Each structure stands twice: as C-alpha cells, then as structure tokens.
C-alpha cells in the first residue's frame, strides 16, 4: 500500500532549501524509498520531513528525514526549522523537542520569522563521522581530487553534525564546478555512508561563504547542517570564531558552537509556501 497516497503535505522553504512536511502523528505508516522519489518528481523538494507519533516522554514527534533520492538523513537543520515554524503556527507554542535519527533535538522560536535548532555536539572521531579508515586528526585528512601535483581540492576538515560532512577550504566558492566534483566526493570510498561536500571561504573571523553538494539531494541553495559543519571546523582549525554567519546561496544562517556544553545552535528563517495533497505516489495536487 502506498503510504503517501491521498496524504496531506505542507511545502516550506528554508533559505531556498525546499522542504515538504508530512504529518503522520495520527496516522503512522512506513514510507518506501520509491514513494519518496515519485513524490519528489511531482512536488519538487530537497528533503521530506515526516512527523510520527512521539515515543519518548516530553517529545512532540518522531521525525524521519528523507532526501529526494529516497535515502534517509540523520539531520536536516533547515527542515527542522520548517517543522518548528509549522508547529508554532499551529499550536502557538514556542519550544519543541523531537526524536530524530541523530538523537533528541530541541528547537524554539527566535526573533520574528526566525527559528533556532540545537543540533547537539559535533563528532570528530574518524569512526563517528564515519570514515572508512582511521585518521588521528580529522581537522585535515588525506583526500585529494585531481592530479597529485596540482590537486583541484585537497585536505578537507571532516565532522559529523547529524550527517557526515567534508569541508574544503577555498578562496572562492564559485571557482569550482561543484556539480561535477560533488557527486564524486559524496560517493568516495572513504565515506561509507556518503558525505555532504562543502566549499567554504573564510571572509572574516565571523563570516563564511558556503556552497554545498548535499548527500542524496545534490546542489542546494542551503544546507543547515553544512553551515554548522563549516563554522565548527573553521573554529576548530583557528580560521574563525565559534559564533559566525554562514552565507549560503539562499541567504544567511547564524551559527554558534557553544563552549559551555559543546552544542551547535543554528538560527534562520522558515516560510510556508503551500499546502497540498498527494493524489498518488506519482502526483500531487494543490489544497
């Protein structure tokens, strides 16, 4: 049976990151990868956030995150902001807690039109990211694309912020064909679970420019966890401060890697665009 057939959805936008939210808290069901792919053909989205009934006390929902290729993600910062914005408008509440594959995540309303997510502490150990081989220092690992004598990109910083991320430091994020390089690196044997690939230029100690090839979604206007990965690895390598603005093609996010508890906080906008209903797994209609 097609779980998504005739099911309502909400289309939202987080800095150009296109998000579909499906509320299944009162009608739970398992969604197959082919359903997600068919839905993505009918309703363009980068990620689908599926809300299920809560299983843990004091949480609001279980959240499963699907990329448009049908694969599942551990975290999606932009998607979580959209979920928080949607539930805030529906309930009037200002604080929420969710169970996700990356653990319990909390979020809350910030300034007008802004929403914040606590993505928890980053993970740096090679087997936590994970990588296929051991590296004592993940601030710069041995990974090169292009000729060894003149590499196109090399020595990324790697981290897990809900998802595996590789951050390549460059002077100009627009000087590379990320659409060609991204899929090669995403599927590199070094990343057994694939990885998000970001190009990051340090503009100042408090501002970074970020472009991302997102695992399972491709080129994206914004990837919240990649913005977090950029600021965290920049601070870890002495390139920037622990609190900085990440400028993405879709807009800016405020990222803070809190020293008191090691948690990464992200703040940014989320906008409701439309409501609709899946006519079938291969089509959708406006509500």
Rounded distance, CA 38 to CA 56, Å? 31
Give the active site residue among 68, 76, 82, 228: 76
Asked if residue 30 lies in contact with residue 66, where contact means CB atoms within 8 angstroms, the answer is no
For 168, the token pair is: 């390549």
203 is catalytic: no
Give the active site residue among 41, 68, 82, 223: 223
For 282, the token pair is: 């291969």
228 is catalytic: no
Alpha-carbon torsion 170, 174, 177, 182, what sign?
Answer: positive
Closest CA to 50 of 34, 69, 71, 30: 30
Burial class of 9 by CB neighbour count within 10 A (0 to 12, 13 to 18, 19+): buried
The residues carrying an active-site annotation are 76, 223
């Amino acid at each position: 049976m097609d779980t998504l057939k005739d099911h309502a959805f909400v289309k939202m936008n987080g800095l150009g990151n296109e998000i579909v939210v499906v509320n299944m808290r009162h009608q739970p069901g398992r969604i197959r990868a082919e359903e997600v792919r068919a839905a993505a053909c009918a309703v363009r989205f980068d990620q689908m956030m599926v809300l299920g009934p809560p299983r843990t006390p004091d949480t609001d929902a279980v959240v499963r995150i699907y990329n448009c290729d049908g694969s599942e993600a551990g975290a999606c910062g932009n998607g979580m902001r959209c979920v928080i914005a949607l539930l805030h408008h529906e309930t009037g509440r200002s604080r929420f807690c969710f169970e996700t594959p990356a653990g319990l995540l909390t979020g809350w309303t910030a300034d007008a039109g802004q929403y914040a997510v606590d993505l928890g502490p980053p993970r740096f150990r090679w087997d936590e990211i994970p990588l296929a081989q051991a590296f004592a220092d993940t601030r710069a690992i041995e990974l090169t694309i292009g000729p060894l004598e003149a590499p196109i990109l090399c020595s990324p910083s790697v981290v897990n912020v809900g998802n595996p991320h590789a951050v390549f430091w460059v002077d100009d994020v627009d000087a590379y064909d990320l659409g060609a390089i991204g899929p090669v690196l995403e599927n590199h044997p070094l990343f057994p679970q694939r990885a998000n690939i970001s190009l990051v230029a340090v503009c100042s100690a408090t501002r970074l420019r970020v472009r991302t090839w997102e695992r399972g979604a491709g080129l994206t206007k914004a990837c919240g966890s990649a913005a977090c990965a950029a600021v965290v690895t920049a601070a870890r390598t002495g390139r920037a401060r622990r609190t900085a603005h990440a400028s993405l093609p879709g807009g800016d996010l405020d990222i803070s890697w809190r020293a008191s508890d090691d948690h990464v906080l992200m703040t940014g906008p989320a906008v409701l665009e439309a409501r609709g209903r899946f006519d079938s797994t291969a089509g959708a209609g406006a509500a």
